[in-house]
Every structure is written in structure tokens, then in C-alpha cells.
């Protein structure tokens, strides 16, 4: 069974600085998809960024980028120029077939003004 | 912007009672999901639903659980006889297509408390 691990329960970053959230996963599959979801306080989870495992190029979405290391089974999220609105729970998730997402335990990101 | 909505936001029930959690997915979406998150634990997949039938379910989704799309807009999760360990946040989600290439949109969740 696939597992997703987020080793940092909490992280903090100064506004305008850069922060990296870690995620590792375990799978025997070669073709799969990875996601980062953001859950602001009392709000819906929203998709931040996705990565196809067959793509070597790291995905980027504005201030959000990933460092995908397939051999190491690592998928970290980098947030540049952190803003107060980035404060949230961040979940890493995995999908390889079907429609099931397997989530990590989440990292709570605090942004200090 | 279209959103997934869920009602109620908080449900309190006695052990052994039946509960129905309701969700209104985004109107043109075809795939529907339920997830749950026990306090302090991971978000866990329960079930996916497509073309009026269950397409996938996890080990958690046993005979106590059922899902239904009773009309063109609602998607429900029924727990027949609640247990204390069913206390959790339940998230509904929907997507236009399969999750690999189509974003899953999540609702705000229903907090279920079983006493």
C-alpha cells in the first residue's frame, strides 16, 4: 500500500521569506501523480500544485514550486515570497490509479508578519 | 465561483443512531467522493462514485456505510449505526473527470460527533 509522510507537523516563516515543506512517499509504481493541497482555517481544501511522475520538470505555479526527486521518492513544496494568506495546513497527496487520493498527515504553516 | 457545499456543518448523534451527511457537488462534475479525518490523524479516502455506482472504496467503507445520489444535485453518505470511532470530519469532494488529471474540489466538511 502507498504511504505518504510529512515529517514536519508545523513550520513557520517570516513574511516575504521562502519556506520548504517536505513530503516523502512509498510506492512500487512507476507512473503516478502527486499533489499539494492547502487548507486555510475553516475553509475548503484547495489544490495548490500537481506533478506527474513521468515528467522530469518540476511543476511551478506562481510563487509555489516543487522539488520532485523520483528516485528518492521525495516531493517538497517551496513557497517563495511568503504572504500572510499562505498560513494554512498543507497536505501532500498521492494518486496512481483510480480516483483515490492518499494523503500525508499535513504540515501547519504559520506566517509571521 | 462554484463550490462544493456540505450540510450540516456539525452533527451530534448518539451511538447506534443512523446519520446522513449531505453534499451538493459542483453541478457539471461527474465524480464524487467522501473522505474522513479523525482528529489529529490523516485524511482518509472512503469511497468514490461515478455513473450512479461506487467505483472504488477503501477498507474503512464497510457495510455500515452507504452512498447515494438521490437526485441530480445531492450526494449523501449514510452511516447506519454510528460508533464512537466514527467521530471525525467528513469531507465531500467532486471532480469533472478522474482525479489524475482533474482537480478534486472539496467541501468544507461536516464534523460528526458520536456520543
pLDDT one-digit tens code per residue, B52-90:
999 999 999 999 999 999 887 899 999 999 999 999 999
CA distance A26 to chain B (A): 16
Alpha carbons B26 and B35: distance in angstroms, whole number: 17
Mean pLDDT over A6-32 rounds to 96
Distance CA B97, CA A95 (A): 14
pLDDT tens per residue across span A13-23? 999 999 999 99
CA distance A67 to A76: 5
Could B107 and A44 be called an inter-chain contact, meaning their C-beta atoms sit closer than 8 Å?
Answer: yes
pLDDT at B98 over 90: no
- So what's the pLDDT on residue B103? 84
The 10 Å Cβ neighbour count of residue B57 is 17
Between the alpha carbon of residue B26 and those of residues A13, A78, B93, B97, the distances in Å are 35, 30, 9, 12
Do residue A99 and residue B56 have CB atoms under 8 angstroms apart?
yes
Give phi and psi for B76, each to the nearest 5. Answer: -120, 150
**Is A56's Cβ below 8 Å from some Cβ in B?**
no
CB contact (8 A) between residue A45 and residue B106: yes
pLDDT tens, residue by residue, B8-36: 999 999 999 999 999 999 999 999 999 99
User: Which residue's C-alpha cell is 469511497?
Assistant: B47
Q: What's the CA dihedral at A84, A4, B50, B67 to 10 degrees?
A: -90
Amino acid at each position: 500500500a502507498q504511504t505518504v509522510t510529512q515529517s514536519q507537523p508545523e513550520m513557520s516563516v517570516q513574511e516575504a521569506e521562502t519556506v520548504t515543506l517536505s513530503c516523502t512517499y512509498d510506492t512500487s509504481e512507476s507512473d503516478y501523480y502527486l499533489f499539494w493541497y492547502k487548507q486555510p482555517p475553516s475553509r475548503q481544501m484547495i489544490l495548490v500544485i500537481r506533478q506527474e511522475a513521468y515528467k522530469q520538470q518540476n511543476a511551478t505555479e506562481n510563487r509555489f514550486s516543487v522539488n520532485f526527486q523520483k528516485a528518492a521518492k521525495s516531493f517538497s513544496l517551496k513557497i517563495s515570497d511568503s504572504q500572510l494568506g499562505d498560513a494554512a495546513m498543507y497536505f501532500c497527496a498521492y494518486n496512481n490509479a483510480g480516483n483515490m487520493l492518499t494523503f500525508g498527515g499535513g504540515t501547519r504553516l504559520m506566517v509571521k508578519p | 465561483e462554484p463550490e462544493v457545499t456540505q450540510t450540516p456543518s456539525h452533527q451530534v448523534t448518539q451511538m447506534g443512531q443512523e446519520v446522513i451527511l449531505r453534499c451538493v457537488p459542483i453541478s457539471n462534475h461527474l465524480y464524487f467522493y467522501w473522505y474522513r479525518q479523525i482528529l489529529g490523524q490523516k485524511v482518509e479516502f472512503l469511497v468514490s462514485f461515478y455513473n450512479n455506482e461506487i467505483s472504488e472504496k477503501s477498507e474503512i467503507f464497510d457495510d455500515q456505510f452507504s452512498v447515494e445520489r438521490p437526485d441530480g444535485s445531492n450526494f449523501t453518505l449514510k452511516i447506519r449505526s454510528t460508533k464512537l470511532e466514527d467521530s471525525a470530519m467528513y469531507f465531500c469532494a467532486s471532480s469533472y473527470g478522474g482525479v489524475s488529471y482533474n482537480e478534486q474540489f472539496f467541501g468544507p466538511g461536516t464534523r460528526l460527533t458520536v456520543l
